[in-house]
Structure 1
Amino acid sequence: MSDLTFYTHPMSRGRIIRWMLEEVGGSYDTRIIGFDSDMKAGEYKAINPMGKVPAIKHGDVVVTECAAICAYLADAFPERGLAPPTNHRGLYYRWLFFAAGPLEMGVSNRAMGLVIPEDKYRMAGCGRFEDLMDTLEYAVTQNAFIAGDSFTAADVYVGSHIGWGLQFGSIEKRQAFADYLGRLGQRPAFLRAQEIDDSIIKKMQTA
């Protein structure tokens, strides 16, 4: 992983990828990108034209978008076992992209106080919020982990969404969500990632 660079900010979705990188193991170079000025500067926009973090550069390959980065890293380092065998990836892809699409949209809408009109639900990828929460509960209660009996990159992504949603009130408090997070929250890689980013935040605050 010596040729892997991680572009992030500790108070961003980059925390998802920090966790994923710690699950992968090995060393990587971290570049902290400041909000607004740094993210919108030409140097970083050559990495991500959206001017948002996180992003990774692995050799000559640049990957943005959290779900894509998680999937890429799982495939790039198969020895870590963070993706199911290719012929058993139905649930893995299903819930990874459910979280990247409907869940992200629905939770973001709720956090911003946006309400989809009753007659527009069919147009919205997230549908009704109640159906979204029921589907998420179904996803986390069918197996020990999101794609079966083993932890995968999809758990990093889905688990991060649930954790943030419960923390900020944009996801309903349900016992199933708390139980699922309990299975994830004591993973050594998760705890290391939290410690690293929290330490960076403290240094930024005292600088």
Structure 2
Amino acid sequence: MSDTLTLYTNPMSRGQIARWMLEEVGAPYDAVLLDYATTMKAPDYLAINPMGKVPAIVHNGTIVTECAAICAYLADAFPAANLAPPTTARGAYYRWLFFAAGPVEAAITNTAMGFVLPEGRDRSAGYGSLDAVLDTLEQAVSGTTWICGTQFTAADVYVGSQVDWGLAFGTMPARPAFTAYAQRLRARPAYQRQKDIDGTLIAAMQKQG
């Protein structure tokens, strides 16, 4: 029996990350486009993700939400794509996946929303400070081609999306290491396919008003 793989997404969302990962995997998939105000909050989708948010995937009946989890799951579910290191060499892989999902996401979001930590309370926040997060992320993408060295992995899809979006929206400074990393990511055929697909969908949605 062949795999069934469905992506639930909106092109103007983090669903772009999941689609990029799916394009890297190369397995056929169906995409269901959801609207923020209606279908994302409908009972049939809430049964998949009670948060009423995208993306989500359903693979042979298995539901996975959260972008970092989707990336890691797909890398394991489709090993032929070679998007995860051997299990004995996954230290950097797990480290930076979770770093991007935790400290990077929190620090960037809080800063963009104007949240300011009270003086002396850095230790109470998991990310410490935005500067500490950015300095650490810069080290992670410096000195090697990819997060795990010479092998492109699912961690690059997730971490790379954070960097790519941060540069595009101005929420991350254009440090040389970040821009060089983003340029390498943007050269990948799967990245370009995802941008073409979601870009076309966004243009159609905007045309409809």
Q: Normalising by structure 2, report the TM-score.
A: 0.96
Indicate yes or no: 2:85 matched with 1:84: yes
Is this contact kept in 2: 1:2–1:29, CA < 8 A? no
CA distance in 2, matches of 1:28, 1:181: 26
CA distance in 2, matches of 1:172, 1:120: 24
Q: Which residue of 2 aligns with 1:184?
A: 185
Q: Percent identity?
A: 58
Q: Which residue of 2 aligns with 1:107?
A: 108
Q: Which residue of 2 aligns with 1:98?
A: 99
Q: Which amino acid aligns with 1:19?
A: W
Is this contact kept in 1: 2:3–2:60, CA < 8 A? no
Q: Which amino acid aligns with 2:122?
A: Y
Residue 113 (structure 1) shift? 1.3
| Segments ≥4 residues shifted beyond 6 Å | none
Residue 206 (structure 1) shift? 2.2
Residue 2 (structure 1) shift? 4.5
Is this contact kept in 2: 1:19–1:189, CA < 8 A? yes
CA distance in 1, matches of 2:112, 2:165: 11
CA distance in 1, matches of 2:82, 2:103: 27
Is this contact kept in 2: 1:146–1:154, CA < 8 A? yes
RMSD over aligned Cα, in angstroms? Answer: 1.0
Q: Which amino acid aligns with 1:146?
A: I
CA distance in 1, matches of 2:133, 2:179: 17
CA distance in 1, matches of 2:37, 2:139: 38
Residue 142 (structure 1) shift? 3.7
Residue 169 (structure 1) shift? 1.5
Q: Which amino acid aligns with 2:137?
A: L
Indicate yes or no: 2:52 matched with 1:51: yes
Q: How many residues align?
A: 207
CA distance in 1, matches of 2:75, 2:139: 24
Q: Secondary structure at the match of 1:56?
A: strand
Is this contact kept in 2: 1:8–1:33, CA < 8 A? yes
Structure 2 residues without counterparts, runs of 5 or longer: none
Q: Secondary structure at the match of 1:57?
A: strand
